[in-house]
Chains A and B, each alone.
Chain A
Amino acid sequence: MTAAERSNITRYFEVNNARNQTRDEVVSSFVPPPAFRRLLSPKNHVILGSRGSGKTALTKMVSHSHLSMFTSKIAQEVIETKRFIGLYVPSRLSWLGSQIDRLSSQKESLEQFVWKLNLATAFALLDAVESCLRVYITDPSKRVSREADLCHEISSQWNLSSGTILSLADIRALLTKLDYEKKGALTAFRLGLADATSTYAIGLMFHNELFDPLRRAISAVEEALDLNASTTWLVCLDEIEFLEEDHHRLLNSHMRADSGNMYLKCTTLPYRHYTLETTTEVPIVEKHDFEYVYLDRERTDHIHLDLIPVFFSQIYDRRMRASGWSKTERKTLNYLLGSSDLLDEKAYNWSEDSIEMRLLQSFANTHTIARAKRLLARDHTKRHFKDQIGRKIAPALILRHAVGAMGGREESGIYSGAAMVSRCADANPRMFIHLLNRMLFETISGISYSNADQTLKPVPKHVQNRILLEYSRSELEKLRSEENGSLLYNMISSLGTYMHGLLHDRPLGTDNISSFTWEFGTDQTLDKAIRSAVGIGCVFPSINPKNPDRLPDFKGTFHIGFKFAPTFQILPRKGKSIPLESILNTDDKEERQLGLFLRG
């Protein structure tokens, strides 16, 4: 393999964030989750997902520029029939999040927000138009001519300069100039050097009602491109968690109103759709005015947990293929990472003098041991024993034994295997790709790469363990810097420490306690911490199968992210739950033990 080829592999895995990827990379590496089909519909959606869950990739793929390059059947059908045209609007700092907004009056702040969002959707529309022209007008000279006519019409709708406008690039340049003039004028106004009227007059059209400039331009586009009356426009607003509650009210108002042929798809973190209120007396109603799509549901659901490695195998395969590896060369994810001693189904040996049975005798509680004896005595095939005790307790026994055998060294390989890496990534594509990048980097730098036959070799278990442990610890440390970081860090640490104690310091039963229940309204501080934790993906709620897109509002069961399993030496499994209060009121001894894990 040449250096260029090696670098190509890591490049495809280094970029683990859809916002950093080029359009080609997003499209070539996209593995559509079930939510993808749902978004291609004439409905408003609020897409909830923790960081790295794939919200940005998903909404980018809905945009026409990306969808037109995707080879799936549904994508091709949508593009050919012009049923939907998607626009992707990122949340750029240049139009959001100036400190100045805090000093403005509410009215002023909202006015500026509307102006900026109208401008941002204008840019997004130009991208969609560019894509539509490329796809629907194949003759180059006709395309140029149509673009010039359309640009003239759009610039007229937006009251832009009356100079010569021949192309979309010209309009973009004008919009950029407008943005610059507006910001300069606003700065001068706030310093008392300009008056409000002249400041307001810049880009006056964009002070119209939210999405009005967009709708006007859409009318021109529909005519120019002979779009059907049934064409629906999907406006994807990414990361609305960075907006204020007032802004959400405004967007909700649009979701409630009859939008004609335009619908919103807004992404945000869980619990960061701040309100259901609108600018009128009437709030929006879920399932009527909009629907939630909770991306993490597919990954926290008990049934789907086992399917995550399959999903990740697809991601791995697609990225390796995109970086030029043939099928035989790139191997499979399972080949690269191997099986997991803790998570993969295996045939344990429960004969009398087997290791498993000795571990059971050493670590299980008396009740479990007695029960085991009864079941074994009754059934020489051991089937009941294996079902009721064996397979439930075996991973805990193995882990406890492995940790005990380490004696302070960190060179265990217990946290390894494709299933383990998938699980520790918390089913999060971005995290998974980040971990895989680290694993591949070790592989390609020589540990597991054979120059002789130019193939990948499996990543050694102790290397996987080390990478997962480093990742786990850094994710815990990073919590300190989050908003409410001390609270989050302490909460996760307490939970992890408690669960470590259950697994390593007490006799084991078949019930693995690794979740907690919480009733919102009990303690405001903890309410806030749990919601933040769910938002950033370090705690995950159990989902109600009857309403899987709905996050717990009043009472819920949650588990800490599996990413923390290596730090606290616990199993990355959902198990039984106990009230959070019981865990947090535990005695100090367990808290002092936290230092051991974090120091290693």
Chain B
Amino acid sequence: MLFRGLKNGGSSDTYDIGIVATGFESRCTFALKELGRRRFDELYVIGFEERRVEESRIKADAFFSLLDPTEMLICSSSDASFAAKILGERLSAHPHPRIFVDYSSMPRAWYGAILNYLRSTQLCSNAILDLSYTPGLHEGEKTPVEVKGITTIPGFEGVSSGSARTATVFSLGFDKWLPYAALERVQPNEIFCVVAEPGGVPEYTGRALTINKHLFEELGIVPFAIDIRDVEQYFTFLTELIALKLHQTCDVALVGMGPKPHTLGMCLAAIRFQEAAVVQVERRATSVEDIKPIGERITTQVMFESS
């Protein structure tokens, strides 16, 4: 199928398929608590292989068990084979599926795989995908994180254009030094930075600007500000930037270090433009922080149709 477009906001209808993640972040249960089990014909819960003994994880697992899901699967954070397993089996039963995915606690490889599956499959003629994100409260001072590696998300590797130039768009958050690691790896000729404004919490933007001040000064740039809730606007910004300024002159690296809705926007833009790669700076966190839900959920509806 082809990716046809997106819009802000989901639907109040029921869903044929729901896919959610269970993990140590308390916010992972928020969407289902709000929507309820009955909205889903089939519900799949994907649990991280890692960190299964954290107290908040045990509570989340227990919550989802009580909902009597269709299936609970365990996967490592880099393994997204569940997407093919679930969608491959179920799409033939639902020719015009309505799919709900709560990606609040999902790694990019997981929701990336769902997007990739839908754009690669011919099993149905159209699909509507509602992607839900619950903003979270980061309470503690961000502890320094080590870089584990810098990679592209499967299916979003971008292509070589033979261009000698590379442009990078950063979506920035609270990791002060990680953008430097990405810069070292990508070594772009042009750099653009985006900060969420407003963010998920009132103090988000100020904090992000302060933490990244050093980067802005060193690069001599002023960041763009885009509403965390407006994935449509973020997508439009990226596609216009690529189409009008970068297309056919640069390879493009989209580096998502800010809120997940912005990273979702990057994935969708990379579907639209083959030369754009979505880059992830993999982190080895020195401590684990339970992210509690705060504010309203952000839902983005993505439409796929057969070509």
- Seen from chain A, the residues whose Cβ lies within 8 Å of a Cβ on chain B are 14, 17, 19-20, 23, 51, 92-95, 97-100, 102-103, 119-120, 123, 126-127, 172, 175-176, 179-180, 183-184, 187-188, 190-194, 242, 474, 477-478, 480-486
Is B152 an interface residue, CB under 8 A from the partner? Answer: yes
Known A-B contacts A51-B184, A99-B109; A482 and B161 likewise in contact (beta carbons under 8 Å) = no
User: Which residue of chain B lies nearest to A434 when distances are taken between CB atoms in the complex?
Assistant: B218
Q: Would you call A176 and B162 a contact (CB within 8 A)?
A: yes
| Nearest Cβ on chain B to A29's Cβ, whole angstroms | 16
Known A-B contacts A19-B187, A187-B154; A176 and B160 likewise in contact (beta carbons under 8 Å) = yes
Residues of B within 8 A of A486 (CB): 144, 146, 286
| Nearest Cβ on chain B to A245's Cβ, whole angstroms | 15
| Nearest Cβ on chain A to B249's Cβ, whole angstroms | 12
Q: Would you call B151 and A98 a contact (CB within 8 A)?
A: yes
A290 to B195, CA, bound (A): 48
Chain B stretch 139-178: residues in CB contact (< 8 A) with chain A: 144-155, 157-162, 164, 166, 175-178
Q: Would you call A483 and B147 a contact (CB within 8 A)?
A: yes
Q: Would you call B187 and A20 a contact (CB within 8 A)?
A: yes
A180 to B186, CA, bound (A): 20
Contacting chain A: which of B59-67, B112-120, B128-136, B227-235? Answer: B112-120
Known A-B contacts A176-B159, A192-B84; A482 and B146 likewise in contact (beta carbons under 8 Å) = yes
Residues of B within 8 A of A184 (CB): 120
Chain B stretch 180-205: residues in CB contact (< 8 A) with chain A: 180-181, 184-189
Q: Would you call B144 and A481 a contact (CB within 8 A)?
A: yes
| Nearest Cβ on chain B to A84's Cβ, whole angstroms | 21
Q: Would you call B151 and A193 a contact (CB within 8 A)?
A: no
Residues of A within 8 A of B214 (CB): 474
Q: Would you call A94 and B159 a contact (CB within 8 A)?
A: yes
Residues of A within 8 A of B117 (CB): 191, 193
A486 to B158, CA, bound (A): 32
Q: Would you call B160 and A179 a contact (CB within 8 A)?
A: yes
Contact of A482 among B162, B181, B251, B279 (CB under 8 A): B181
Q: Would you call B277 and A93 a contact (CB within 8 A)?
A: yes
Known A-B contacts A94-B158, A172-B162; A484 and B146 likewise in contact (beta carbons under 8 Å) = yes
| Nearest Cβ on chain A to B285's Cβ, whole angstroms | 11
Residues of A within 8 A of B186 (CB): 93
Known A-B contacts A176-B162, A482-B181; A94 and B84 likewise in contact (beta carbons under 8 Å) = no
Is B95 an interface residue, CB under 8 A from the partner? Answer: no
Chain B stretch 33-83: residues in CB contact (< 8 A) with chain A: 78-79, 83
Is B14 an interface residue, CB under 8 A from the partner? Answer: no
Is B126 an interface residue, CB under 8 A from the partner? Answer: no
Known A-B contacts A93-B185, A93-B277, A190-B154; A481 and B146 likewise in contact (beta carbons under 8 Å) = yes
Residues of B within 8 A of A180 (CB): 159, 274
Residues of B within 8 A of A100 (CB): 154-155, 157
Contact of A93 among B88, B152, B180 (CB under 8 A): B152
Residues of B within 8 A of A123 (CB): 160, 162
| Nearest Cβ on chain A to B216's Cβ, whole angstroms | 14
A301 to B225, CA, bound (A): 48
Known A-B contacts A20-B189, A99-B154; A191 and B113 likewise in contact (beta carbons under 8 Å) = yes
Q: Would you call B120 and A193 a contact (CB within 8 A)?
A: yes
Known A-B contacts A176-B161, A183-B159; A478 and B154 likewise in contact (beta carbons under 8 Å) = no
Contact of A481 among B83, B122, B145, B158 (CB under 8 A): B145
Chain A CB within 10 A, most for which of B120, B144, B159, B279: B159
Q: Would you call A120 and B160 a contact (CB within 8 A)?
A: yes
Contact of A97 among B78, B120, B121, B150 (CB under 8 A): B150
Residues of B within 8 A of A474 (CB): 214
User: What count of chain B residues pass the 8 Å CB interface test?
Assistant: 54
Q: Would you call A93 and B279 a contact (CB within 8 A)?
A: yes
Is B280 an interface residue, CB under 8 A from the partner? Answer: yes
Is B220 an interface residue, CB under 8 A from the partner? Answer: yes
20 contacts across the A-B interface (CB closer than 8 A): A19-B187, A92-B160, A94-B157, A98-B153, A100-B157, A176-B275, A180-B274, A183-B157, A187-B154, A188-B120, A191-B84, A193-B88, A193-B121, A474-B214, A477-B176, A478-B180, A481-B178, A481-B180, A482-B147, A486-B146
User: Which residue of chain B lies nearest to A60 when distances are taken between CB atoms in the complex?
Assistant: B164
Q: Would you call A99 and B178 a contact (CB within 8 A)?
A: no
Q: Would you call A99 and B251 a contact (CB within 8 A)?
A: no
A14 to B116, CA, bound (A): 39
| Nearest Cβ on chain A to B175's Cβ, whole angstroms | 8
User: Which residue of chain B lies nearest to A183 when distances are taken between CB atoms in the complex?
Assistant: B157
| Nearest Cβ on chain B to A269's Cβ, whole angstroms | 11
A172 to B164, CA, bound (A): 12
Is B253 an interface residue, CB under 8 A from the partner? Answer: yes
Q: Would you call B177 and A94 a contact (CB within 8 A)?
A: no
A420 to B197, CA, bound (A): 42
Known A-B contacts A20-B189, A183-B157; A99 and B146 likewise in contact (beta carbons under 8 Å) = no
Residues of A within 8 A of B113 (CB): 191
A584 to B154, CA, bound (A): 43
Contact of A175 among B88, B158, B162, B164 (CB under 8 A): B162
Residues of A within 8 A of B151 (CB): 93, 97-99
Known A-B contacts A99-B153, A176-B159, A179-B160; A480 and B189 likewise in contact (beta carbons under 8 Å) = no
Q: Would you call A102 and B78 a contact (CB within 8 A)?
A: yes
A191 to B91, CA, bound (A): 14
Residues of B within 8 A of A14 (CB): 220
Residues of A within 8 A of B84 (CB): 190-193
Q: Would you call A98 and B154 a contact (CB within 8 A)?
A: yes
Residues of B within 8 A of A126 (CB): 162
| Nearest Cβ on chain A to B57's Cβ, whole angstroms | 23
| Nearest Cβ on chain A to B159's Cβ, whole angstroms | 4
Residues of A within 8 A of B122 (CB): 193
| Nearest Cβ on chain A to B218's Cβ, whole angstroms | 8
| Nearest Cβ on chain A to B188's Cβ, whole angstroms | 7
A484 to B181, CA, bound (A): 13
Residues of B within 8 A of A97 (CB): 149-152
User: Which residue of chain B lies nearest to A95 when distances are taken between CB atoms in the complex?
Assistant: B160
Residues of A within 8 A of B279 (CB): 93
Encode contact with A along B70-106: 1 for CB under 8 Å, 0 otherwise: 0000000011000110001000000000000000000
User: Which residue of chain B lies nearest to A21 when distances are taken between CB atoms in the complex?
Assistant: B189
Known A-B contacts A484-B146, A486-B286; A103 and B160 likewise in contact (beta carbons under 8 Å) = no
